[in-house]
Chains A and B, each alone.
Chain A
Amino acid sequence: DAGVTQSPTHLIKTRGQHVTLRCSPISGHKSVSWYQQVLGQGPQFIFQYYEKEERGRGNFPDRFSARQFPNYSSELNVNALLLGDSALYLCASSLATGLVGYEQFFGPGTRLTVL
């Protein structure tokens, strides 16, 4: 079975542009989470979606938005890119969400560079 897949693997944009990152979860997983990882730091939580609804949001500006589709794949959109948005963007999928703390499986990430 395929793991979590993300596209594109690398992306170069300039300040002010818009970017869309894509994620396909493991088959059967209904929850997708997005994380931003700046070089040398741990991942920072951005969003979690479950059954196409937003279930959690981290401390990120409104320039960041996401959605989940009926097939449980997800998109992360970032508007008006800043230099500080340069990072590895990770997508993780899990069977569900909730107090039990379902294990999250991470994709390989999308490396975004903003010039």
Chain B
Amino acid sequence: KNQVEQSPQSLIILEGKNCTLQCNYTVSPFSNLRWYKQDTGRGPVSLTIMTFSENTKSNGRYTATLDADTKQSSLHITASQLSDSASYICVVSEADSWGKLQFGAGTQVVVTP
């Protein structure tokens, strides 16, 4: 059973609009949560990383939130651009001896003109 669940599976938004992606996790013990952007056929690129004590972090038009109590995170994309079309993957790191990563399946975002 996947310990990191993302929703929606995919979404289509108009250029310039905002959208929010969701991530729920059951990974325990928790170390940190990351959001990655992955273009088709390419390796993931890190957007944000948050530890237990952080509840929000921004990277340009990307803002991630974390509620460690409810084990939920969100990624908000503001004023979307065509280049935002990609898969967005939520990754949770276990607080074990070597920081094992648990990946979600990703949300496929398509930004249309």
Contacts and interface: CB of A to CB of B under 8 A. Distances in A.
A34 to B, nearest CB: 12
B41 A111 contact: yes
Interface in A43-58: 43-45, 48, 50, 55-56
Interface in A13-70: 33, 35, 40-45, 48, 50, 55-56
Contact of B106 (A33, A42, A99): A42
A98 to B, nearest CB: 6
A108 B89 CA distance: 16
Q: How large is the interface on A (under 10, 10 to 19, 20 to 34, 35 or more residues)?
A: 20 to 34
Contacts of A41: 105-106
15 contacts: A42-B4, A43-B103, A45-B100, A55-B98, A98-B99, A99-B96, A100-B99, A101-B95, A103-B49, A104-B46, A104-B101, A106-B36, A106-B44, A106-B45, A108-B42
Given A41-B105, A55-B97, A101-B32, 7 more contacts: A35-B103, A42-B105, A48-B100, A55-B98, A90-B44, A98-B99, A109-B43
